Structure 1
Amino acid sequence: MAYILLIDDDPALIPKQVRQAFPAPAYRVEVAGTGSEGLRLVRVAPPDAILLDIRLPDQSGLDLYQAIRGIDGRIPVIFVTLARAADVAIEAMRQGAYDYLFKPLDLQELRRVVDESMEEGRRMRGPASVAETLPDPDFAGAIVGSCPSMREVYKAIGRVSDKKVPVLITGESGTGKELVARAIYQHGRRARAPYRALNCAAIPESLLESELFGHERGAFTGADRKRIGKFEQCNGGTLFLDEIGDMMPALQAKMLRLLQEQEFERVGGNEVVRTDVRLIAATHRDLRTWAAEGKFRPDLYYRLSVVTIHLPPLRERGDDLSLLVQLFLRRYNLELGRDVREVAPEAMDRLRDYPWPGNVRELQSVLQRALLKATGTVLVPDYLPDELFAEARPSVAGDSAIGYRPGSTLADLERAAIQQCLIQSGGSRQRTAELLGISTRTLLRKIREYKLDDPLRPDPRTTE
């Protein structure tokens, strides 16, 4: 259950809208009418996200935000403001707040922003550590493995955590690069400062520059307000840029200047903004080769790769596969209400023989689907997805969460899977993303793409 705290002195409208957007039991919404009451609730139990009014009867929202940040700077705070108070909200974002929304609230935008902020919050607060043996099944942030290559990864995390130098994490999709980034962050000196993550491949090129560096009002069509980008918002903290190899060349030049000078300009602005951000980047591409071929700036590559940590693919990790299977079975037994205690030798042989193009992320998906079919205490080959038995399988990144069925397109299957998980989670975007093994940002994009505006209404195409 996600816990959202609303601090607002409006006794009726705003609390009603927030509870409508985040219904029980998937969400718990608490309301505080004053800043002092809100601060008391934060001290009692840190929320997953805070919605904070700019104007409160006993103090300003900005002062209260500073007090909240003093308790725990990792709690995402979203300001709720009238248009005339936007300058204060922008200033709060410069100091690390997540975003700001205008009254009257747009419920669809509210859900999107809050769900995204809670995903960021989980990255900051969720523990990320290394484990050469099985951790507790509900410990979702452990990097598990004991093979020689993974032990080298653990050593590298320990060597670099306290350093400010950039880190480049390489490896195939699904190997756990973001877990490594979080472990570096949480074991370093900035562990209680903001942590932000951004997938460069998931954002249109025309918007990525604004996401990173912000923009001034009127900078381009649709820029109806000033925006604070991730580098400014994350000042004093850590920024993780996934799939940085997909960044367009023009933006690479701006990134290089930021790494060299720790300064930049917002899109459409002339003001030089200084920032102090620890950068961790990741890519599944061979950036050294790309740089040699002119597809990536060599000077940026050298700046990023001061320290490089390479994650091995699952097929090269030997007995780690058995360890990971045990971990995920224990975890998904709890989540899915199953009691699978062991894997039949024939099923384990099939898992070992499969090349795992989607790596650990694909293994998670396969085991979730197998447990949904399981009826006893032993995982037998019949429960495994068909693609593990196929002689050839297209290794398309991201297709591992979707099982093939004759007569269905990939889009049909993906839409049906999202709809099913939305219903199973009671409409919770956060829980649905966890079930599907994708980020909340990716899920929200898919919901818009497939027009799943009402998550609890079954898709007629799946019930015909």
Structure 2
Amino acid sequence: MATILIIDDEPGIRGLLKALLHEDGHTFLEAGAGPEGVALYDARRPDMVFCDVVLPELDGIAVLKRIKALNPMVPVVVMTADSSTELAIRAMSLGASDYLVKPFGAKRTARMVRETLKSLRPEEPSVSVPVIDPHDTQPLLGNTDEMYEVFKLIGRVASQSLTVLVLGESGTGKELVARAIHSHSPQRDGPFIAVNCAAIPESLLESELFGHEKGAFTGADRQRTGKFELAGNGTLFLDEIGDMSLAVQAKLLRVIQDQEFYRLGGSQTVRTTARILAATNHDLREEAGTGRFREDLFYRLSGVVIRLPALRDRRDDIPMLAEHFLRKSAHDLKRSVRSMMPGALEILRKYHWPGNIRELANVVQQAVLQATGPTIIPAQFESLVSDPRPKEARVAPTPFDPVALREEVLQRIASNDQNVLTPLMNAYEQAIIGAVLDHCQGNMSSAAKHLGIHRVTLKSKLPAARQLAGELTTEE
């Protein structure tokens, strides 16, 4: 049990939080304005604080900073209806323990409170964090739970002088994460230097990173300054570090350990204070296990790991991203395209996106270029995307959604499918059998009775249906 302070000018929100958390036996304090909330915290020193961003007299960010000044260790959860990336990162970088977007789910909120209170360690030292310029952040977009976890981790690590490894498939926005960390870090006044290790030949990468002296090798007719020196007291981002050769990895490890290096052909030590951020789409742990990546370097890089989800795993972010790319493309191409039809957006939501956000940006740009009016219609996206998975492997739309079924049929026709009926009928049949088997806990006799077919017939259809049911079937 704990004492929880709720600062929100809406009595309904305060009542909702109390109802969600009441079962755990907590005691609640309430304030309807910023100054009142700060004063109540100072007087009563509760164990945890929920604070809305939009408050009378003193906004939530200011309240967060004042409460943290009174007690840096108290967990403060920021609440808002604004799903902006910048606000999430800024709140976390200023010491918020979590960030909730209204409306928030009951189970997630209760679990978050339990985990936060359980993890409290008053003996830990406080960490000072810089005040962030909200206009510096790159457009790292998303309002799904997966992306809010990313935003919160960025806010927590940005102010630390830690090496960060960003993992994710190609096109997921790893460089945007690195830029967001840089723009919220003490190094933000220094340069941000990005190096794509996969795009530079192995023979040139060492010189690119560390520089070389005149005469170091054939063709070295003058001294060259490497990226470590150019980064100065800023940030060096090593993209696709999994493609770096073992020889260069050894030199990079020394730089991370000793913060010094030699230019190629040089004998004088060069010091560096640049912060190193790295990214890859490889599984570095597996690569280290096979000897293709240095294990010691892997552990040096992976002190903090941020994992970016693939676009297909955050489909609810597709409308926001598509609208952003539409506005950007319309501006860049000087086109008067302003919107997308719902059917066009639905095509984007259903597509598998093997190229992730980079592919989405390209598709939207092409659609804007092809548009003949102010609105993008479904046909313009149908000509640009095609699901790389076999048609038979697609999940059939729900049997009770004729609109979704029609969209699926039209997509198959657009891809010149000559057998629309059979795979859709098979998919529906297997979905129905799987649902019935699941309900009957795998009992074939009971399932056959509900389906209105003979048990032998059901048995012949089991291989695919077993997978949909999620468990083995039984004879009786």
TM-score range, shorter chain: 0.5 to 0.7
Q: Please tell me whether residue 153 in structure 1 is matched to residue 150 in structure 2.
A: yes
Whether the 8 Å CA contact 1:131–1:144 is kept in 2: the answer is: no
Q: Please tell me whether residue 366 in structure 1 is matched to residue 363 in structure 2.
A: yes
The 5-angstrom pairing of residues 350-389 of structure 1 reads: 350-384=347-381, 386-389=383-386
Deviation at 1:218, TM superposition (A): 1.0
Rounded to whole Å, the distance in 2 between the matches of 1:356 and 1:315 is 6
| Partner residue, 1:296 | 293
User: Partner letter of residue 302 of structure 1?
Assistant: Y
The 5-angstrom pairing of residues 45-444 of structure 1 reads: 130=86, 141-384=138-381, 386-389=383-386, 392=389
Deviation at 1:379, TM superposition (A): 1.3
Rounded to whole Å, the distance in 2 between the matches of 1:380 and 1:140 is 32
Rounded to whole Å, the distance in 2 between the matches of 1:344 and 1:391 is 24
Other structure's SS at 2:305 match: strand
User: Partner letter of residue 350 of structure 1?
Assistant: I
Whether the 8 Å CA contact 2:363–2:384 is kept in 1: the answer is: no
Whether the 8 Å CA contact 1:130–1:144 is kept in 2: the answer is: no
- CA 1:190–1:129: 2 relative to 1, 3 Å: farther
User: Partner letter of residue 219 of structure 1?
Assistant: A
Report Cα offsets for 1:154-213 as digits up to 9, x if no partner.
Answer: 011111111111011110111111111111111111111122111111111100000101
Other structure's SS at 1:201 match: coil
Deviation at 1:129, TM superposition (A): 5.9
Report Cα offsets for 1:243-299 as digits up to 9, x if no partner.
Answer: 111000011001111111111111112222221110011111111111112110010
Rounded to whole Å, the distance in 2 between the matches of 1:337 and 1:131 is 30
Q: RCO greater where, 1 or 2, for CA within 8 Å and sep 6 or more?
A: 1
Deviation at 1:220, TM superposition (A): 0.8
Rounded to whole Å, the distance in 2 between the matches of 1:191 and 1:163 is 12
Rounded to whole Å, the distance in 1 between the matches of 2:387 and 2:273 is 50
- CA 1:367–1:140: 2 relative to 1, 3 Å: farther
Report Cα offsets for 1:391-418 as digits up to 9, x if no partner.
Answer: 559xxxxxxxxxxxxxxxxxxxxxxxxx
User: Partner letter of residue 338 of structure 2?
Assistant: R
Whether the 8 Å CA contact 1:333–1:339 is kept in 2: the answer is: yes
Aligned residues: 262
Whether the 8 Å CA contact 1:366–1:385 is kept in 2: the answer is: no
Rounded to whole Å, the distance in 2 between the matches of 1:131 and 1:388 is 34
Deviation at 1:383, TM superposition (A): 1.4
Rounded to whole Å, the distance in 1 between the matches of 2:221 and 2:231 is 23
Deviation at 1:346, TM superposition (A): 2.6
| Partner residue, 1:396 | none
Whether the 8 Å CA contact 1:369–1:385 is kept in 2: the answer is: no
Rounded to whole Å, the distance in 1 between the matches of 2:283 and 2:353 is 19
Rounded to whole Å, the distance in 1 between the matches of 2:187 and 2:174 is 19
Other structure's SS at 1:168 match: strand
Other structure's SS at 2:189 match: coil
Report Cα offsets for 1:78-120 as digits up to 9, x if no partner.
Answer: xxxxxxxxxxxxxxxxxxxxxxxxxxxxxxxxxxxxxxxxxxx
TM-score by length of 2: 0.52
Q: CA RMSD in A?
A: 2.2
The gaps in structure 2 that reach 5 residues or longer are 1-83, 89-100, 102-134, 391-476
Whether the 8 Å CA contact 2:338–2:375 is kept in 1: the answer is: yes
Whether the 8 Å CA contact 2:352–2:388 is kept in 1: the answer is: no
Deviation at 1:369, TM superposition (A): 0.4
User: Partner letter of residue 222 of structure 1?
Assistant: G
Rounded to whole Å, the distance in 2 between the matches of 1:139 and 1:366 is 27
Rounded to whole Å, the distance in 2 between the matches of 1:139 and 1:321 is 24
Other structure's SS at 1:143 match: coil
TM-score by length of 1: 0.54
Rounded to whole Å, the distance in 2 between the matches of 1:140 and 1:153 is 14
User: Partner letter of residue 219 of structure 2?
Assistant: G
